[in-house]
Structure 1
């Protein structure tokens, strides 16, 4: 009977000891993989290249297209953001951002991801506006130019002249498809930039202490959540 009580007491003390023990510190190797999502930077690079290539294909249809109609600038900026992301991945990790280079690159990456998000939304808005226009165009060929109007019967309607176009089908068909493709690419690009900015924000600000001390006051160990 005495041995049973002793065994029960030992079990209670063992459970209490386990409960009082602070959790082991996190392995730094786990944070090294998740400190910057390599997949996000790769997606940013691929999307940036895709947006740039499509923009130059649009410019090849007619040299008179404006810069807002061919958003190669949005793709180039995202390529720069992805390169900065790869640099951040290669920077040596230090807890609590004790490395000034690590902090600076993280801050720049967060800012550029936010700027990339805004620019992608702006490029998507331009592409959506021009897509709605070109899909409603009534065009006619005049020499080597293609002259388009939204309403052919309106004598004072605004005229859009596309130079160097041998067939107006390029404007009403191919160029319209390019605008639709730019809407999709820039939408995905904006989402990827938002994910990158959110991950940086979460890594910097969403790691906090629960305020519950585990163990004796002398150990001064806190539970991280």
Structure 2
């Protein structure tokens, strides 16, 4: 009887699978979202350039998508460093600081790109355009002789400027808004946990107790 109780007391619970929901852990899920959003913003920006090559860089924020893709790559690297046995490494410390700084920069860049897209969306929504050869000449007010004129080169149909381009600007607003929220969430988590208390899911079991390793 005594031996049975002692044996039962010494038995430790079955360890959980430490890799069961690894994709849900920080920063892997955030990095995946950043990569997908960065690619989406970049693709939409180059689709906008296909309408007219004369569109300015502030009108096609591919730079915002590329920056977020770079931030996501650092997030993947940080995720791999987190799972090293020695969690108190210089590489991990530098990686977390860089990730926090780049997420903050990504937040600012996304807000900037969203502001540009919002301005140009309101502008192109009120355009009145006329075809001039291979160009499209647009004005905000056709009845105003001194109104500012916008010339879009290489446009075979002005419907692409008055119809398709505003939709792309609206899509850029939505994508960059989500980008900004993701970067803000990542920066907040890094700040809240002071760069060192993220659960890594590594379990060290012993006959009498279990310890969870945090990084």
TM over 0.5: yes
Q: Structure 1 residue 112: deviation in Å?
A: 0.2
Q: 46, 55, 72: which one pairs with 1:65?
A: 55
Q: Which residue of 1 aligns with 2:175?
A: 185
Q: Is the 8 A contact 1:93 1:102 kept in 2?
A: no
1:14-163 equivalent positions in 2, closer than 5 A: 36-93=26-83, 98-163=88-153
- C-alpha distance in structure 2 between counterparts of 1:204 and 1:87, whole Å: 19
- C-alpha distance in structure 1 between counterparts of 2:130 and 2:170, whole Å: 22
1:165 corresponds to 2:143: no
Unpaired runs of 5+ in structure 2?
Answer: 1-17, 198-215
SS at match of 2:107: helix
- Which of the two has greater helix per residue? 1
Q: Is the 8 A contact 1:97 1:103 kept in 2?
A: no
Q: Is the 8 A contact 1:110 1:196 kept in 2?
A: yes
Q: Structure 1 residue 162: deviation in Å?
A: 0.2
Aligned length: 179
- Structure showing greater radius of gyration is 1
- C-alpha distance in structure 1 between counterparts of 2:27 and 2:69, whole Å: 16
Q: Structure 1 residue 144: deviation in Å?
A: 0.6
1:212-223 equivalent positions in 2, closer than 5 A: none
Unpaired runs of 5+ in structure 1?
Answer: 1-28, 208-225
Q: Is the 8 A contact 2:27 2:78 kept in 1?
A: no
Q: Is the 8 A contact 1:36 1:88 kept in 2?
A: no
TM-score by length of 1: 0.74
Q: Structure 1 residue 138: deviation in Å?
A: 0.5
Q: CA RMSD in A?
A: 2.3
Greater RCO, 1 or 2 (C-alpha within 8 Å, sep 6+): 2
Q: Which residue of 2 aligns with 1:9?
A: none
- C-alpha distance in structure 1 between counterparts of 2:57 and 2:150, whole Å: 15
SS at match of 2:193: helix
- C-alpha distance in structure 1 between counterparts of 2:130 and 2:49, whole Å: 20
- C-alpha distance in structure 2 between counterparts of 1:63 and 1:205, whole Å: 44
- C-alpha distance in structure 1 between counterparts of 2:158 and 2:93, whole Å: 53
